[in-house]
């Protein structure tokens, strides 16, 4: 039972609690942005390397949503991200032309590699172009794992099949052509488990540990070039976009500090990505 003697103590506790609540309410959360990007930038370890440097330089925290390029662009269309950082130039140009994104800039590039079993049942190692390699895979009905997730890598793969004059869905779906609807890491895991061919970005391949019997069977064809771009989600479409912080990220990653950070990310002494902002 409380008495009047307890009242000063109770008032003191109440005042202290009110003061703490006021301090908490007045405290400023550090600025942050959401970047919708690809599984290749996340699973290769690039973001783990560069984002702490960006936050150190700017005080801006970054939350990455790592999905396929098509999904990342859809996130931008909905206004659920501030920045989009992807690798499908045709889709990026459409995104900007439709008014969903602004200030698109080149950031970096790497390349795709065709990986497959060391035994190379389709004889891919005997050819020099991606088109001929895919024709051999199709004609031999060697197992091929497709991401099937509307990512930048999936889009590049479908363009390559078209250039080779083959419709793999019509010719081999459910047989030798397997679409898994998943990211690059899962596609490589599936290919390793089934001793199959797949198309991978080089960065994720270099970071991938569970290779099993897989090896690079084709590389170096100009059709395997893989550029990345960054853009701000249009604040005129989505007023909630953190335009100032988003532009700070774009300026940093295409500026000297960001480009140096990209060049400095290596695995086993081999760079995974090559800075490309200087070509603009």
Indicate whether 209 and 138 sit together in one domain. yes
pLDDT at 13 over 90: no
Q: Considering only 49-58, 97-106, 148-157, 251-260, which range has the smallest mean pLDDT?
A: 148-157
Indicate whether 68 and 52 sit together in one domain. yes
Tell me which of 182, 197, 224 is where a domain ends: 224
Question: Whole-number mean pLDDT of the chain?
Answer: 90
pLDDT of residue 7: 45
pLDDT of residue 27: 52
Nearest to 207 by CA among 178, 183, 227, 182: 183
Pairing of strands 270-271, 144-146: unpaired
Q: Give the 3-state secondary structure of residue 255.
A: coil
Indicate whether 274 and 174 sit together in one domain. no
pLDDT of residue 176: 97
pLDDT tens-place string over residues 32-66: 999 999 988 998 899 999 999 999 999 999 999 99
pLDDT of residue 24: 45
Indicate whether 151 and 190 sit together in one domain. yes
Tell me which of 224, 244, 269 is where a domain ends: 224
Indicate whether 192 and 249 sit together in one domain. no
Q: Helices marked H in 65-150 — which ranges?
A: 69-78, 89-97, 130-140
Nearest to 116 by CA among 224, 26, 203, 188: 188
Indicate whether 122 and 198 sit together in one domain. yes
- Whether 135 is in a domain gets the answer yes
Query: Is the entire prediction scored with pTM above 0.85?
Result: no
pLDDT confidence of 12, banded at 50, 70, 90? very low
Phi, psi of 179 (to 5 degrees): -100, 125
Indicate whether 121 and 203 sit together in one domain. yes
> For residue 43, how many other CB atoms are within 10 A of its CB?
20
**Cβ contacts of residue 58 below 8 Å, gap of 6+?**
248, 249, 252
pLDDT of residue 22: 41
The DSSP output letter for 144 is: E
Number of domains, the chain: 2
pLDDT of residue 30: 83
d(CA 156, CA 199): 9
pLDDT at 20 over 80: no
d(CA 112, CA 170): 24
The mean pLDDT value for 191-215 works out to 95
CATH code, domain with 206: 3.40.190.10
Q: b vs e for 148-159, b when ≥16 Cβ sit within 10 Å of the residue's Cβ? A: bbbbbbbbbbbe
Q: Could you list the residue range(s) of the whole structural domain that residue 175 is in? A: 111-224
Who has greater pLDDT, 25 or 213? 213
pLDDT at 238 over 50: yes
pLDDT at 96 over 80: yes
Indicate whether 218 and 241 sit together in one domain. no
pLDDT tens-place string over residues 183-194: 999 999 999 999
Indicate whether 188 and 247 sit together in one domain. no
Percentage of the chain surpassing pLDDT 70? 89
């Amino acid at each position: 039972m409380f008495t009047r003697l307890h009242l000063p103590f109770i008032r003191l506790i109440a005042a202290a609690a009110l003061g703490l609540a006021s301090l908490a309410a007045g405290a400023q959360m550090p600025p942050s942005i959401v970047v919708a990007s690809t599984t290749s930038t996340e699973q290769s370890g690039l973001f783990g390397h560069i984002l702490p440097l960006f936050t150190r330089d700017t005080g801006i925290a970054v939350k990455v949503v790592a999905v396929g390029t098509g999904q990342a662009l859809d996130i931008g269309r909905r206004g659920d991200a501030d920045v989009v950082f992807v690798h499908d130039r045709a889709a990026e140009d459409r995104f900007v032309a439709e008014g969903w994104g602004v200030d698109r800039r080149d950031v970096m590039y790497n390349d795709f590699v065709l990986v497959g079993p060391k035994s190379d049942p389709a004889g891919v190692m005997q050819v020099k172009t991606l088109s001929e390699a895919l024709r051999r895979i199709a004609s031999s009905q060697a197992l091929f794992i497709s991401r099937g997730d509307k990512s930048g890598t999936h889009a590049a793969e479908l363009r390559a099949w078209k250039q080779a004059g083959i419709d793999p869905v019509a010719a081999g779906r459910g047989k030798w052509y397997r679409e898994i609807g998943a990211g690059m890491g899962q596609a490589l895991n599936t290919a390793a488990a089934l001793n199959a061919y797949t198309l991978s970005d080089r960065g994720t391949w270099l970071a991938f540990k569970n290779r099993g019997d897989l090896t690079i069977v084709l590389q170096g064809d100009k059709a395997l070039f893989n550029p990345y771009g960054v853009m701000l989600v249009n604040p005129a479409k989505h007023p909630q976009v953190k335009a100032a912080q988003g532009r700070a990220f774009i300026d940093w990653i295409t500026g000297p500090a960001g480009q140096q950070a990209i060049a400095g990310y290596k695995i086993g002494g081999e760079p995974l990505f090559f800075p490309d902002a200087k070509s603009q």
